[in-house]
Structure 1
Amino acid sequence: MMKRQLGFSLIELMIAIAIIGVIAAFALPSYTKHLRETRRADARSALQEAAARQERIYTEANSYTGDVSRLVTNADGSSSPEGYYDISANLSCDRTVSGTTYYSCFTLTATAQGVQADDTDCPALTLTHAGVKAPADCW
């Protein structure tokens, strides 16, 4: 009487590894895309918070500020809370009264950096004083 061998044959093991490889080949790009899209929430929240702070500053000083450190809460004073985006502020619609320049328009921009820099679909998100968000598909 022959004893039955326990375990896996080399063929069975190679088939299992091939199946895992095929699943990983499909899952990894989807997972990476999901991570990029999820990280965009970091930019959206940073821009909306910075816009709210701009409005608060405007009510106090009758002018928007270009000082990003007053607009973001991150310790380095220029990036989004999770650090995936660099925040910048551009001012326009200026008027000068008694030697002081006042700005009544702003555009906030969140530019992808670090691991998020490979996001070619939405490398930068913007928000203006009028609430215009661009690119629309990224919001």
Structure 2
Amino acid sequence: MDSQGFTLIELLIAVAIIAVLAGIAYPGYVGHVNKAYRAEIVVLLTEHAQHLERYYTKNGSYIDASGVSVGNDRYRITAVLNPQDFSLLATPGVDSVMAGDACGAFSLTSSGVRTNPGAAPGMSRKACWGQ
């Protein structure tokens, strides 16, 4: 008797193998996507800081500087502008894919200090900022 096709056992084994491979690959994929989103917000914060520095050079103050965006789909940016300094804070959106990210929020000051308020214990600045 010549049978064609797969038996139920063969099909279940194939599904199990695919599930195991997906279970291994998916967390790695999510990690790489989150790393790319972190790099994106680092670039955006750096661009805003450069814009604010140019404004300060022309006007002698950070007050009334415009052009700082509210962020993107994953992070919300807030700026605190004082006459002689500023701070930028990018917080993960509550409903974004970065909510609950181990790096937490990203903070950049006019003196170049980079921190991650709310970062998980053991997360280094290098891991979050890529530097």
TM range (shorter): 0.7 to 0.9
Rounded Cα–Cα distance in structure 2 between residues aligned with 1:66 and 1:117: 30
Contact in 2 for aligned 1:66/1:90 (Cα 8 Å): no
Runs of 4+ in 1 over 2 A off after TM superposition: none
* Bigger radius of gyration: 1
- 1:109 pairs with one of 89, 110, 113: 89
Residue in structure 1 matched with residue 120 of structure 2 by the alignment = none
SS in 2 for 1:89: strand
Partner of 1:52: 50
Query: Once the two structures are superposed, what CA deviation does each residue of 1:64-104 show, in whole Å capped at 9, x if it has no partner?
Result: 1365x5223xxxxx114xx3211111234xxxxxxxxxx11
* Structure 1 length-normalised TM: 0.76
> Number of residues paired by the alignment?
118
Q: 1:71 aligns with which of 54, 68, 72?
A: 68
Number of the residue aligned with 2:108: 127
Q: Give the root-mean-square deviation of aligned CA atoms.
A: 1.7
Please tell me whether the aligned partners of residues 91 and 105 of structure 2 are also in contact (alpha carbons under 8 angstroms). yes
Higher percent of residues as strand: 1
Partner amino acid, structure 1, of 2:26: L
Deviation per residue, 1:26-45 (Å, 9 max, x gap): 11122112211110112101
Equivalent pair of 1:66/1:89 in contact (CA under 8 Å): no
The answer for unaligned runs of 5 or more in structure 1 is 73-77, 93-102
Q: Work out whether 1:89 is the aligned partner of 2:79.
A: yes
Paired with 2:68 and 2:31, the residues of 1 have a C-alpha distance of 29
CA distance in 2, matches of 1:21, 1:41: 30
Structure 2: which 5+ residue stretches go unaligned? 117-124
